Chains A and B, each alone.
Chain A
Amino acid sequence: MFHRPPDPAREATQAVTVTLDGRPVRARAGDTVAAVVLLAGLGHTRTDAATGERRAPYCMMGTCHECLMVIDGEPSRQACLVTVREGMAIERQPGAPRLR
Chain B
Amino acid sequence: MTPREERFDLVVVGAGPAGLSAATEAARLGLSTVVLDEQPSPGGQVWRAVERAAADAPLAAALGAEGRAGAARVAAFRGSGAAYRPETQVWQVERDGRVMASCAGIASVLRGERVLLAVGALERPVPIPGWTLPGVMTVGAAQILLKTSGALPDPGVWVAGQGPLVWLYCAQVLALGGRVAGVLDTAPPGAWRAAARHPAAVATAWRSVAEGLAWRRAVARAGIPVHRGVEAVEALGEGGRIARLRWRGADGARREAPARGLLLHEGVVPNVHAALSLGCAHAWDDAQACFRPVLDPFGRSSEPRILIAGDAGGILGARAAGLRGHIAALGAAADLGRLTPAGAAARAAPLRRLLRREVALRRLLDTLFPPRPALAAPADEVVVCRCEGVTAGALREAVQLGALGPSQAKAFTRAGMGPCQGRTCLLPLVGTIAAARGVPPAEIGPPRVRPPLRPVTVGELATLAEAGGPRLA
Contacts and interface: CB of A to CB of B under 8 A. Distances in A.
Interface stretch (B107-115, B133-141, B284-292): B133-141
A56 B176 CA distance: 25
Interface in B334-384: none
Nearest to B385: A50
B197 interface: no
B198 interface: no
Contact of A4 (B142, B152, B157): B152
Given A1-B154, A1-B260, A30-B49, A58 B149 contact: no
Contacts of A64: 386, 420, 423-424
Contacts, number: 126
A32 B82 CA distance: 26
Given A1-B260, A30-B52, A61 B144 contact: yes
A39 B149 CA distance: 9
Contacts of B138: 58-60
B135 A61 contact: no
Interface in A6-46: 7, 28, 30-32, 35, 38-39, 43-44
Contact of A30 (B149, B153, B154): B149
Contacts of A54: 134, 240-241
B137 A56 contact: yes
Given A54-B241, A63-B423, A5 B123 contact: no
B152 A61 contact: no
B132 A61 contact: no
Given A65-B420, A68-B419, A55 B132 contact: yes
Contacts of B260: 1
B123 A4 contact: no
Contacts of B414: 50
B148 A44 contact: no
B137 A4 contact: no
Contacts of A76: 419, 455
Interface string B27-52: 00000000000111000010001001
B151 A38 contact: yes
Given A1-B260, A31-B149, A60 B140 contact: yes
Interface in B47-65: 49, 52
Contacts of B141: 57-61
B134 A28 contact: no
A83 to B, nearest CB: 5
A95 to B, nearest CB: 13
B153 A2 contact: yes
B202 interface: no
A1 B389 contact: no
B389 A53 contact: yes
A63 to B, nearest CB: 5
B325 interface: no
Contact of B148 (A32, A51, A59, A65): A32
Contact of B123 (A39, A59, A62, A100): A59
A93 to B, nearest CB: 11
Nearest to B143: A60
A62 B154 CA distance: 24
Contact of A35 (B134, B140, B151, B241): B151
Contact of A56 (B49, B134, B145, B157): B134
B418 interface: yes
Interface in B147-171: 148-154, 157
A63 B122 contact: yes
B154 A3 contact: yes
Interface in A45-100: 48, 50-51, 53-66, 68, 76, 80-81, 83, 100
Contact of B137 (A43, A51, A59, A83): A59
B148 A31 contact: yes
Interface string B406-445: 0000000010001110011000000000000000000000
Closest 5 CB pairs of A and B: A56-B134, A60-B141, A65-B419, A51-B389, A2-B151
9 contacts: A2-B152, A4-B150, A30-B49, A39-B151, A44-B134, A54-B240, A57-B141, A81-B87, A100-B459
Given A55-B386, A60-B144, 5 more contacts: A30-B148, A53-B132, A53-B240, A60-B145, A65-B418
